[in-house]
Amino acid sequence: MQKILGIIGKNRRGVTTLLVIAFMGIFFIILGTLTSYVLQEGRYGRAIAARESALHIAESGLEYYRWYLAHNPNDLTNGTGSPGPYTYTVTDPETNETLGSAAVTINGNTQCGVVQSIDITSKGTSDLDHGYPRTLIAHYMQPSVAGYSYLLNSNVWAGPTRTITGPYFSNGGIRMDGTNYSDVSSKYDTWTCDSGSGCPSTQNGVFGAGSGSALWHNKAASIDFNGITANLSNLKGYAKNNGGIYLAPAGSTSTNMVQHGYHLIFKSDGTFDVYKVTATNQTSGTSPSGSAPIDSYDRIKTQSFVANYTIPPSCSVIFVEDRVWVEGVVGKKVTVASADFSNLSDLTTAWLPNNITYNTYDGSVGLTVIASGDVLLPSNSPDIMEIHGIFIAQNGSYGRANYSGNVRSQLTTIGTVVSNQRTGTAWINGSGTTVSGYQTRIDSYDQLQATNPPPFTPTASVGYKFISWREQ
C-alpha cells in the first residue's frame, strides 16, 4: 500500500512540474508576443513620425523654391545652370538642428520660349528615418482669368433666364436676376442703376431678384483691367517669330475691317482649316454695349480656302491681323488673337458663328480667343448653341447684338467671358419676353482650364501662387 501511495505522489510531482513548465511556456509566449507588439508599435510610431516629418520637409522644399523664384523669377536651375534635383537642407530655426533634406526638381512649362507655369517636385526625407520619404508636386503660376465664369469692367444685368456656375465679378454694378451657384461680386458698395439695367435708382453693388443672394458681395476689391489684358503686340511677335502661326490682313486697308477677315475651323485631330473671307452680308442691330445702332458685316458670304494647319505644340498661338470667325472641334490647347496694327483706331471683332467644342474634356485641350475689340455671336448663330473656351473682348463687348425679332432657344457657355464693356446675349422687353437673342443661357466656368489655361491667357492678379499641389 505504501509503495502504491509513493508511486502516486511521484506522479503528482511530475504532473505539477509539467504544468509549471507549460504555464511558464505560455507566459513566455505571451510575454514575447507583448514585447514584439510593443516593439512593433514603437517602430510604427517612429515610422509615422518620420513620414509626417518628411511631409513637412517636402513642403518646406516647395516654399523654399517659391521664395527663390520671387527673387529670381527666370531661374529654374537654383542658380546652378544645371538640371536638378537640388538638395535643400532643412533645419529647426530654434535649435539649428538638421531635420532632414528636400530634393527639389523644377520643370518650366514654356510656350514660344516663354515660361507659362512651373511644376515643382519636392522629395522630403527626415533624419528620423530615411526609409519613409514623401514627395509633393505643386503647380506654380499667376492665377488666370479662367478661374472666373464672368469677369467684367462695367455695369451688367444678368437676366432671369441665366444660370451661372463659377465666380462672377464686375468693376461695375450688378443686377442679378438669374440663378448663381458661386460668388457674385461688385467693387461698388452702392451704384445708380441706369435705364440700361431697367432700374433708375440707387442700389447695392449686387442686387436683384436672383435666388443666390447669400453669395452676393458688395465692395469687393477691384480688378485692374489694364493689368489683365493680353499684350497683343507680343502675341503677334510670337506668332511671326517664335514658331506660331501669323495671318496677315486679308484685304486692303480700306476694306479689310469692314468685309474681310479669316475663318478658322478647328478639327478634332489638332489641325484647323483657314479660309480667307472675301465678302460678308450686312445685318443691322443694336450693340451689346448699349443702344447705339451697328451695321455688322457678321455673316460670311464668300470665302476661299487657304490651307490646313497643325497647331504648333511649342508655340500654340494663332495671330490674325484682321477680323476672325472661330468654330469647330478643338484638339489641343491654343490661343487665337485678333488685332490690326496697321490701323490701331480700328478694333477687330472675333465672331463665334457656330458651336465650339473640345475633342476631350480632361484638361489637355483648351481655347482662348482674344480680340482687340468685341467678341460677338452673329445673327445666324445656331438655335441651340454650345461654346467652350475663354473669350476676351479687350476694349469692347462680349455678346450678341439686338437683331430685332431674331430669337434663339439656348446658349451654353463652358469657360470664361472677359468683357471690358457691357455684355448681352438676350434682349427682353418690358413684359419680360425675349425679343432677340437666347431665351435660356447656361454659363459655367471650366475648372481644369483655371489651373492650366491655353498659352498667354491673361492673368487675374500679378502675384504667383501655388494653384494646385498633390502627393505623388
Q: Quick one: 90 and 194 in the same domain?
A: no
Q: Quick one: 57 and 95 in the same domain?
A: yes
Q: Quick one: 54 and 158 in the same domain?
A: no
In the sheet with 156-158, reading across from the earlier edge strand, the strands are: 156-158, 174-176, 206-207
Q: Please report whether residue 372 resides in a domain.
A: yes
Q: Quick one: 133 and 161 in the same domain?
A: no
What pLDDT does 273 receive? Answer: 98
**Grid cell of 134 as nine digits:** 514623401
**Which residues, listed in sequence order, are joined to residue 156 by a DSSP beta bridge?**
174
Q: Please report whether residue 411 resides in a domain.
A: yes
What pLDDT does 225 receive? Answer: 85
Kind and range of the H or E run holding 88: strand 86-91
What pLDDT does 6 receive? Answer: 53
In this prediction the pTM is 0.86
What pLDDT does 11 receive? Answer: 58
Q: Quick one: 150 and 137 in the same domain?
A: no
Per the structure, the count of domains in the chain is 2
Query: Last residue of some domain: 108, 141, 174?
Result: 141
Q: Quick one: 429 and 454 in the same domain?
A: yes
**Grid cell of 206 as nine digits:** 449686387
CA–CA gap between residue 399 and residue 223 (Å, rounded): 21
In this prediction, the residues of the chain whose per-residue pLDDT falls under 70 are 1-15, 19, 28, 31-44, 195-197, 252-258, 290-295, 344-345
Strand ranges, E, within 112-200: 114-126, 129-141, 150-152, 156-158, 162-165, 168-170, 174-176, 179-180, 184-186, 190-193
* Long-range Cβ contact pairs of 34-39 (< 8 A, separation 24 or more): none
Domain that includes residue 124, residue range: 2-141
Query: Last residue of some domain: 123, 141, 159?
Result: 141
Note whether 180 and 170 are within 8 A (CB).
no
Q: Quick one: 99 and 194 in the same domain?
A: no
Number of other residues whose CB lies within 10 A of the CB of residue 150? 25
